[in-house]
């Protein structure tokens, strides 16, 4: 922060700016816009004097971007109800690397495969810090894997990966747990007896049970009251368990104190439940819109697995079409479009611009997954994006739903295993039905800042 503003001052400005962001409604009022233009005109000089010029003088060329207002930065350009589209507009105007201000905090926005890869992979150490984002800090404080940095993060991440590996991630026992959970899901879905139901809760109970069996050693019955409370009140989750994970008791000088272990477990729960179940929910909606694609997946299942045994991860390499469909579901669903914020670990030069240490960074995954240089019709659903002309599975470097580099999703292996086993087990057992004409199913995202399918009713018909 040397040469910028004092940290305390930044914190106060940040807090007031974010409370202002929370209170701002998008404004379509022309008169007010004029007032703001005038306000902007008057305040530009002040702001330039206050921050930009100082930083330009000290650091050199800063990335382009919209002119920020004092204290509130660019919140007028970043409509809270339509954040993704606001970023897309700025991307068209300023190019792949630009800067916006959240309050007084400069935020670097990276767009498209080339620059995101150059930052996260080619300059992994510089861009591998976690950004201090108020929402994340509020949820997890400074404990756990997602929000921490430095030695604390390194040790917690290594610990979590090793523990999951010891429990069998990538090995057979986790696969068996998922297979078992998928059968419970089939049993539960059979109870619906051809009626329509909202799949949200069915899927989130299944995916959180997979994490439960890894971190607690057991799954929960679907109707278990404690489990239901757990799912509804994840933020009070820490109270429901304590000692099993503590190797060391309250020792604040140790990384492995209660708070960190509880938060790391919570991290796995939060990061691993919603993400995987949202992808499944999105996937089933997409398959209802394209019954011919679902039909081809079912044919491949019948051919490779048959009806007499559960799908296993080993089957994936023999099922290129299904593999391509699942990749395309993840690409299209794009459920973490803005990524989780990163920060720059040291002053650095990037793409000809100077980026000061501590700058928050959004490596926009949506612009990678929908990069027209890598995907022919990025906004259409097309499993052909992951198939070659001979029908074999084809990798694509811009497939980055789990991000890339040092902070790449810790649960990638687990999530990919879950997606394959849940999709194939459900389609082995059921045909998906909808009340709508498939053409009328809307598969665009139902949210503005994160991606999630619109709510829908599903009906499953046993195949055998």
**CB contact set of 375 (below 8 Å; sequence gap of 6+):** 331, 369, 385, 396, 398
In terms of residues, how long is the chain? 464
Pick 234 or 304: Cβ nearer ligand HEM: 234
| Residues in 323-382 at the binding interface with ligand HEM, rule: CB under 6 A | 335-336, 339-340
Q: How many residues bind ligand HEM (CB under 6 A)?
A: 25
Closest separation in Å from C-beta 94 to ligand HEM: 22
Examine residue 425 and tell whether it contacts ligand HEM (CB under 6 A): no
Q: Is 415 in the site for ligand HEM (CB under 6 A)?
A: yes
Strand partners, 460: 432
Q: Is 453 in the site for ligand HEM (CB under 6 A)?
A: no
Which residue in 91, 212, 213, 267 binds ligand HEM (CB under 6 A)?
267
For ligand HEM, the binding residue among 51, 403, 428, 434 (CB under 6 A) is 403
Residue from the set 409, 432, 459, 460 that interacts with ligand HEM by CB under 6 A: 409
* Neighbouring-strand partners of residue 110: 97, 363
Nearest to 396 by CA among 383, 381, 380: 383
Residue whose pair of structure tokens reads 């079409």 in the numeric block: 321
Residues 6+ apart with CB under 8 A from 146: 130, 136, 140, 267, 271, 340
- Residue 288 within binding range of ligand HEM, rule CB under 6 A: no
Residue selected from 75, 108, 271, 287 as contacting ligand HEM according to rule CB under 6 A: 271
The burial class, CB within 10 Å (0-12 / 13-18 / 19+), for 379 is exposed
Which span (31-39, 67-75, 110-118, 274-282) binds ligand HEM, by CB under 6 A? 274-282
Is 203 among the residues that bind ligand HEM (CB under 6 A)?
no
- Does position 110 interact with ligand HEM (CB under 6 A)? The reply is no
* Rounded alpha-carbon distances, angstroms, from residue 230 to 146, 233, 275: 20, 5, 17
State which of residues 279, 425, 429, 445 lies at the interface with ligand HEM (CB under 6 A): 279
Select 66 or 131, whichever has its Cβ closest to ligand HEM: 131
**Site membership for ligand HEM, residue 398 (CB under 6 A):** no
In the complex, minimum distance from the CB of residue 55 to ligand HEM, in angstroms, rounded to a whole number: 26
CB of 447 to ligand HEM, least distance (A): 15
The two structure tokens encoding residue 84: 């993704």
Instruction: Say whether 129 sits in a helix, a strand or coil.
Output: strand
Confirm or deny that 409 is annotated as ligand binding. Answer: yes
Which residues on neighbouring strands pair with residue 337, listed in sequence order? none
Which residues have C-beta within 8 Å of that of residue 368, sequence separation ≥ 6? 112, 113, 116, 117, 374, 398, 400
Helix 291-304 × helix 412-429 angle, to 10°: 90
- Using CA atoms, how far apart are residues 361 and 338, in angstroms rounded to an integer? 10
- Segment lying near ligand HEM (by CB under 6 A), choices 70-78, 268-276, 291-299, 429-437: 268-276
Judged by CB, which is closer to ligand HEM: 345, or 408?
408
Q: Would you tell me which residues interact with ligand HEM (CB under 6 A)?
A: 130, 145-146, 157, 267-268, 271-272, 275-276, 279, 335-336, 339-340, 401-403, 407-411, 414-415
**Binding-site sequence positions:** 409
């Amino acid at each position: 922060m040397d040469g910028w503003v004092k940290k305390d001052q930044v914190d106060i400005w940040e807090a007031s700016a974010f409370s202002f962001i929370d209170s701002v409604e998008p404004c379509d009022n022309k008169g007010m816009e004029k007032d703001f233009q005038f306000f902007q005109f008057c305040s530009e000089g002040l702001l330039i004097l206050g921050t930009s010029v100082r930083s330009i003088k000290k650091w050199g060329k800063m990335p382009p971007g919209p002119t920020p207002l004092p204290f509130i930065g660019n919140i007028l350009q970043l409509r809270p109800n339509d954040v993704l589209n606001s970023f897309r507009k700025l991307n068209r105007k300023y190019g792949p690397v630009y800067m916006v201000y959240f309050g007084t905090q400069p935020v670097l926005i990276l767009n498209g495969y080339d620059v995101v890869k150059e930052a996260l992979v080619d300059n992994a150490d510089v861009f591998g810090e976690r950004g201090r984002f108020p929402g994340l800090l509020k949820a997890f404080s400074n404990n756990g894997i997602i929000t921490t940095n430095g030695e604390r993060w390194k040790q917690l991440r290594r610990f979590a990966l090793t523990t999951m590996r010891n429990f069998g991630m990538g090995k057979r026992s986790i696969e068996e747990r998922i297979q078992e959970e998928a059968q419970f899901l089939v049993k539960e879905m059979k109870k619906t007896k051809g009626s329509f139901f909202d799949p949200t809760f069915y899927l989130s109970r299944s995916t959180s049970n997979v994490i439960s069996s890894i971190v607690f050693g057991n799954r929960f019955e679907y109707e278990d009251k404690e489990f239901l409370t757990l799912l509804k009140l994840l933020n009070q989750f820490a109270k429901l368990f304590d000692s099993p994970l503590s190797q060391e008791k309250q020792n604040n000088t140790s990384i492995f104190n209660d708070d960190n272990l509880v938060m790391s477990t919570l991290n796995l729960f939060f990061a691993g439940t919603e993400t995987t179940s949202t992808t499944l929910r999105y996937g089933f909606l997409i398959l209802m819109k394209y019954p011919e694609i679902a039909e081809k997946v079912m044919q491949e299942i019948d051919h490779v697995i048959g009806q007499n045994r559960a799908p296993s991860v080993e089957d994936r390499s023999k099922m290129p079409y299904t593999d391509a469909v699942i990749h395309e579901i993840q690409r299209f669903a794009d459920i973490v479009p803005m990524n989780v914020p990163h920060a720059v670990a040291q002053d650095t030069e990037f793409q000809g611009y100077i980026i000061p240490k501590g700058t928050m960074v959004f490596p926009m995954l949506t612009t990678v997954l929908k990069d027209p240089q890598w995907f022919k019709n990025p906004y259409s659903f097309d499993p052909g994006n992951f198939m070659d002309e001979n029908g074999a599975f084809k990798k694509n470097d811009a497939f980055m739903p789990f991000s890339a580099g040092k902070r790449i999703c810790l649960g990638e292996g687990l999530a990919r295993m879950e997606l394959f086993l849940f999709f194939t087990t459900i389609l082995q057992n059921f045909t998906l039905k909808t009340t709508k004409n498939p053409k009328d199913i809307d598969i665009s995202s139902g949210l503005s800042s994160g991606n999630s399918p619109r709510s829908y009713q599903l009906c499953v018909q046993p195949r055998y």
